[in-house]
Amino acid sequence: MAIEPIYLTTPLYYLNDRPHIGHAYCTVLVDAMARYQRLFGGEVYVLTGTDEHGQKVQKAAEKRGVEPQRHVDELVGAFRDLWPELHIRYDDFIRTTDPRHAKVVREVLQRLYDQGDIYAQDYEGWYSTAAERFWAEDELVDGKCPDTGLEVQLIKERNYFFRMSKYGARLEAHIRDNPDFIQPAHRANEVLGFLAKGLEDLCISRPKERLSWGIPIPFDEGYVTYVWFDALLNYVSALGWPDDPKFARWWPHANHYIGKDILTTHSVYWTTMLMAAGIALPKRIVATGWWLSEDRKMSKSLGNVVSPLGMKDVYGPDVLRYFLLRDMVIGLDSSFSEQALVRRNNSDLANDLGNLARRAAGLVGRYFEGVVPEPGALTEDEAPIVAKAAALRQALPGYVAELQVHTAIEETMQLVRELNKYMTQTAPYRSVKTDRAAAARSLYTVLEGARHAAVLLSPIMPVKTAEMLRRLGAEPVATLSELAWGGLKPGVRLDMDKGLFPRRELPKAQQPPTHQPGKAPVKPQKKHKSKGEAAPTADGVITFDDFMKVQLRVATVLAAEPVGGADKLLKLQVDLGDERRQVVAGIAQHFEAADLVGRQVVMVANLAPRKIRKVLSQGMILAIDTPDGGLSLVQPTGPVEAGARAH
Ligand code: MSP
């Protein structure tokens, strides 16, 4: 079945920021989506770029004493040159200072003006220079800008307005009729809530005496275009709207990927602008969550940013990509920490994936002269592996279409873990002495499974997986339809001497990032304190603050096995959303290990780790004794995100 093409866009990044992990995430995600699309045999066009007009850029250029154009020309490389370093490929890079873009902005403005959708009016409002926009009095927080917390000025001036209010009802109907339009679905409700309050018209001009660094309004040269009205049009100007065949080819397949903070501008300003200009709406708008650092959105003004280049230089681009895509559920927030990245690298990549290929290759080197052995006829032992690989090939496009990238990765890693288990169970290092064909079959299965994992993870780690395929002596696989069990050719030589994913030392607990001069340091989060809070009392009553110290979190059980020599203990591997943990629980007499896999339990996540019967336990699972002498696990009543906090 032919798969629909996709036109994927990232937001245009403001040049006044240095790129950080938050920016890198959105661009890496779009790149991975594009690679999945190609792997599934579909066509794709990727656009990214930079947002270069506005007051902040003008001021920064003035401060340096250079022309704004020269200033932006010097800054654009920070973004444009970063993407290839993270193995990101794009088809076009648009700058809002490109003449091809300015032409389209002016054309749309003129069209809307001519048809009466833009009008001039005197306007008085509170203007925030930092946010580059007006606020209504009742939107201010303590008299300050609600976005930045900075001073606002009362400004009265004549400006141009876009009749956005005219299109509110049509937009609402479109959102209701197209449940897939804004993703994740709860964001659509947010937009509907916003629309329900009534849509106002949008101020789309700035007088030149206040801001000159912008695209001049075609029907009044005394004004420049408001940055958002300018920047949003990039999605069509890059395709050469209205006449370039590229526009007709790609626009019907537009998928905008953005952060949740720019949802309103995309789902309300942009869509109504398109309606007014007579252009079809994009197919889908996907709003991602934020990467948090120190529990707050990573941002330059908070001084808590993590540099993607710094992380890439230490851990490599593919490991960084893996972490960003595995540890974020699209649409939710996630915390960035170097520790979590290292844990993920060590557990998934060094331990599970890297070891698998290396263990098998080592045995092939020792017993089969380093060449892939003949599998012979498969037996019952291999059947679940072959079936799991086939199921994955089938399911992957669905996960990606549903934006479940973390599940696509996790399911592939489940195959890897099953392969590790299969290798331990079939023990080719033992069988080779008595049944050489069985050892050959077992090693072939593991290598072929590793090849599958490499192909299925190639959108996430394009370079590492290509290297893995090369070392396995496997041909590159262009599309999923070419991936079938048995593709690895017996007789080819392996080249697996060095590990592909080195283990890393866990870095020391992170210091709060040192703030740079002139920047606000990260403020510690306010402690939650209830009124008239009592001190701890002798009868065991604790304060709310004491209770909040206990981190109760939902963990998904990934694997469970008995602890040797202890009939009550089970060793569980659990997923806490942002990390994997091992927990020893005294529940073996009540539960079969296999029955626990996939279940969600509640655990104390910040208990100091300790060894139980020499096995490390990093947390405690909550359970309740039942009257009949049994045990009941504390569980959420429905599926929730792994790592969610109970409170
Ligand atoms: N220039 C506008 C977008 C115009 S699109 C026509 C803008 N730029 S931005 O540089 O401030 O942000 C670009 C994107 O980065 C936004 O989608 C924003 O959500 C994302 N991120 C910025 N910080 C982020 C995190 N800490 N985490 C994840 N993404 C965040 O807005």
Partner residues linked to 620 by β-bridges:
604
- Predicted local confidence at residue 627, as pLDDT: 64
The most distant pair of C-alpha atoms in the chain lies apart, rounded to whole Å, by 91
Task: Examine residue 184 and say whether the peptide bond preceding it is cis (omega within 30 degrees of 0).
Answer: yes
Pocket test for ligand 1, best of 16, 18, 21, 23 (most atoms within 8 A of CB): 23
- Predicted local confidence at residue 286, as pLDDT: 98
Q: How far apart are the first and last CA of the chain?
A: 47
Ligand 1 midpoint to CA 141 (Å): 23
Q: Is ligand 1 within 6 A of the CB of residue 262?
A: yes
Half-sphere exposure of 473 toward its Cβ, with a 13 Å CA cutoff? 18
Residues 277 and 232: their CA atoms lie apart, in Å, by: 13
Residues 394 and 588: their CA atoms lie apart, in Å, by: 35
Residues 216 and 224: their CA atoms lie apart, in Å, by: 4
Residues 188 and 184: their CA atoms lie apart, in Å, by: 7
Contact between residue 165 and residue 159 where contact means Cβ atoms under 8 Å apart: no
DSSP letter, residue 45: E
Q: Which two tokens stand for residue 597?
A: 């896999």
Q: Which two tokens stand for residue 470?
A: 């090369």
Q: Is ligand 1 within 6 A of the CB of residue 270?
A: no
**Phi, psi dihedrals of residue 8, rounded to the nearest 5°:** -105, 135
Which stretch of 105-109, 132-136, 491-495, 632-636 has the lowest confidence by average pLDDT?
A: 132-136
Residues 353 and 588: their CA atoms lie apart, in Å, by: 29
Residues 334 and 336: their CA atoms lie apart, in Å, by: 7
Q: What is the Cα 38 distance to its own chain's centre?
A: 19
**H/E segment holding residue 319:** helix 317-326
DSSP three-state, residue 220: strand
CA-wise closest residue to 162 among 210, 198, 109: 109
pTM: 0.80
Mean local confidence (pLDDT), 457-473: 97
Residues 392 and 411: their CA atoms lie apart, in Å, by: 7
CB-CB neighbours of 51 under 10 Å: 23
- Predicted local confidence at residue 169, as pLDDT: 97
Q: Are strands 334-335 and 291-293 parallel, antiparallel or unpaired?
A: parallel
- Predicted local confidence at residue 194, as pLDDT: 94
CB-CB neighbours of 307 under 10 Å: 14
Q: Which two tokens stand for residue 612?
A: 């139980």
Ligand 1 midpoint to CA 133 (Å): 17
Residues 389 and 416: their CA atoms lie apart, in Å, by: 10
CA-wise closest residue to 601 among 545, 543, 560: 560
243: confidence class by pLDDT, cuts 50, 70, 90: very high
Q: Which residue has the tokens 């964001």?
A: 187
Nearest-atom index, ligand 1, CA of 231: 6
- Predicted local confidence at residue 532, as pLDDT: 32
Partner residues linked to 161 by β-bridges:
119, 203
Ligand 1 midpoint to CA 53 (Å): 15
DSSP three-state, residue 50: strand
DSSP three-state, residue 127: strand
The residue type found at 95 is R
Q: Which residue has the higher pLDDT, 149 or 414?
A: 414
Ligand 1 midpoint to CA 19 (Å): 10
Contact between residue 349 and residue 319 where contact means Cβ atoms under 8 Å apart: yes
| Alpha helices, H only, 402-461 | 405-426, 428-431, 436-456
Q: Are strands 205-207 and 631-633 parallel, antiparallel or unpaired?
A: unpaired
**Phi, psi dihedrals of residue 136, rounded to the nearest 5°:** -80, 155
Q: Is ligand 1 within 6 A of the CB of residue 30?
A: no
1: confidence class by pLDDT, cuts 50, 70, 90: low
Pocket test for ligand 1, best of 261, 292, 301, 329 (most atoms within 8 A of CB): 261
**How would DSSP label each residue in 348-362?**
IIIIIIIHHHHHHHH
**Phi, psi dihedrals of residue 230, rounded to the nearest 5°:** -70, -60
Q: Which two tokens stand for residue 350?
A: 């060094």
- Predicted local confidence at residue 589, as pLDDT: 81
Mean pLDDT of the chain: 90
Give per-residue pLDDT as tens, 389-436: 999 999 999 999 999 999 999 999 999 999 999 999 999 999 999 999
Residue nearest to atom 23 of ligand 1 (CA): 22
Mean local confidence (pLDDT), 619-623: 92
Q: Are strands 44-51 and 92-95 parallel, antiparallel or unpaired?
A: parallel
Q: Is ligand 1 within 6 A of the CB of residue 290?
A: yes
Which stretch of 135-144, 153-162, 387-396, 432-441 has the lowest confidence by average pLDDT?
A: 135-144
CB-CB neighbours of 185 under 10 Å: 11
